[in-house]
Amino acid sequence: MSRAFVFPGQGSQAIGMGRALAEAYPAARAVFEEVDEALEERLSALIWEGAIEDLTLTQNAQPAIMATSMAALAALEAEGLGMAHVSFVAGHSLGEYSALCAAGAIDLADTARLLRIRGAAMQEAVPVGVGAMAAVLGLDYDAVVAVAAEAAGDEVCQVANDNDPAQVVISGHKDAVERACEIAKAKGAKRALLLPVSAPFHCALMEPAAAVMGEALAGVVVRDPIVPVVVNVRAEAVEEADRVRALLVAQVTGEVRWRESVQWLVGAGVTDYWEIGAGKALSGMIKRIERETEQRAIGTPEDIAALKG
């Protein structure tokens, strides 16, 4: 049996996430302390005791979700259940940074700072209200690509996330995305609904953020990962630091090819998927992509105790 660790993206945030891990494992607490120090603020206090509206702000959610994932990984390592037991890692959007941190390609402090920069740059790339994202349920990928192209006109509307066979997310100008929702419903989509996000991620409107991330990534050390990382924009494993850096820049405007990434992992023999951090969204997607797989969500001490039991 081959195992992969997968790391969640934005939307998995919740007040209190990771707190029980920090209380149960000194190594997990140390992760939150290092992230606080890197950001020169107590992000941990916001995660555990703050308002969900503040935690959901992109510039906070991104480093917070990563910190929670790394705390869960630190707890697994303390129990001898960590990276020595995996063949691949992968992450959904910002989760790719968590995966790279887990694989030793980017230090924890640098990862936190990069995600704070990434979150702010994505938020600032498009004025509030100009862009939107929507989930289309019940149409396959090729059909949604055609819907987005039909709706775009002289605006931006494109597939942002190919999540699983039942869900494809589109992104772009708000008017074009709303047109796409109506076209999708007319073509038989079960649902097509706007998402409660603050910016149109993973589309051409994010070009200013990609430029910011190019500069930011040029200033940090990126190493070859200790295990291959299956990257969003290529849906295949990457093991070279130079490619990692370039693909993280491409990821800002590029498509999150999660369905294809999981299919690649299945083709490589991975049957066991551990979702490391907050929530269970990826586990559900993976099961819908390939039923003959096993999933575990690892976000609490109880989850880790169940592994040992």
225-283: per-residue pLDDT in tens? 999 999 999 999 999 999 999 999 999 999 999 999 999 999 999 999 999 999 999 99
Judge whether 2 counts as a catalytic residue: no
Q: Are residues 27 and 160 in the same domain?
A: no
pLDDT at 198: 84
Q: Are residues 300 and 213 in the same domain?
A: yes
Q: Note the Cα 16 to chain centre separation in Å.
A: 19
Whichever domain contains 163, its CATH number is: 3.30.70.250
Number of domains in the chain: 2
Q: Are residues 37 and 78 in the same domain?
A: yes
Q: Are residues 98 and 55 in the same domain?
A: yes
Q: Are residues 177 and 109 in the same domain?
A: no
Q: Are residues 113 and 170 in the same domain?
A: no
Q: Are residues 163 and 249 in the same domain?
A: no
Give the residue-averaged pLDDT of 8-16: 96
Q: Are residues 78 and 17 in the same domain?
A: yes
Q: Residue 1, class by beta-carbon neighbours within 10 Å (0-12 exposed, 13-18 middle, 19+ buried)? A: exposed
Q: Are residues 93 and 144 in the same domain?
A: no
Give the separation between CA 27 and CA 74, rounded to whole angstroms. 6
Q: Are residues 28 and 144 in the same domain?
A: no
- pLDDT tens column, 281-304: 999 999 999 999 999 999 999 999
Q: Which of 122, 24, 111, 18 is nearest to 71 (CA)?
A: 18
pLDDT > 80? residue 309: no
Question: Active-site residue among 93, 171, 198, 261?
Answer: 93
Whichever domain contains 238, its CATH number is: 3.40.366.10
pLDDT confidence tier of residue 308, bands split at 50, 70 and 90: confident
Residue range of the domain that includes 237: 2-125+205-308
Q: Are residues 234 and 98 in the same domain?
A: yes
Judge whether 173 counts as a catalytic residue: no
Q: Are residues 136 and 92 in the same domain?
A: no
CB 111 within 8 A of CB 155: no
Which of 174, 197, 220 represents a domain boundary (last residue)? 197
pLDDT > 80? residue 166: yes
Which of 197, 224, 244 represents a domain boundary (last residue)? 197
Question: Active-site residue among 69, 171, 202, 261?
Answer: 202
- pLDDT tens column, 82-96: 999 999 999 999 999
Which of 151, 168, 197 represents a domain boundary (last residue)? 197
